[in-house]
Amino acid sequence: MRDLIRAAVPPNPQFERERIIAQAPNPRELVFLLGLLSEGENEAALVLELVATVAAAEPDAPVAHIVDEAWYYLRTSIDAQWQLDDGVPCAAAALAYLVAVLSERLEFVAGSRPAVSVVPSAESGRAGLLRSLRDEFSFAP
pLDDT digits (tens, 9 = 90+) for 19-69: 766 776 676 766 766 677 788 888 888 888 889 889 999 999 999 999 999
Distance CA 42, CA 38 (A): 6
Q: What is the pLDDT of residue 139?
A: 60
The model's pTM is 0.65
Query: What percentage of the chain reaches a pLDDT higher than 90?
Result: 10
Angle 42-26-108 from CA coordinates, rounded to 5°: 55
**One-letter amino acid of 91:** A
Q: What are the DSSP calls for 42-104, one per residue?
A: HHHHHHHHHHHHHHHH-TTS--HHHHHHHHHHHHHHH-TT-----SPP-HHHHHHHHHHHHHH
Short-list 30, 32, 34, 28, CA closest to 49: 28
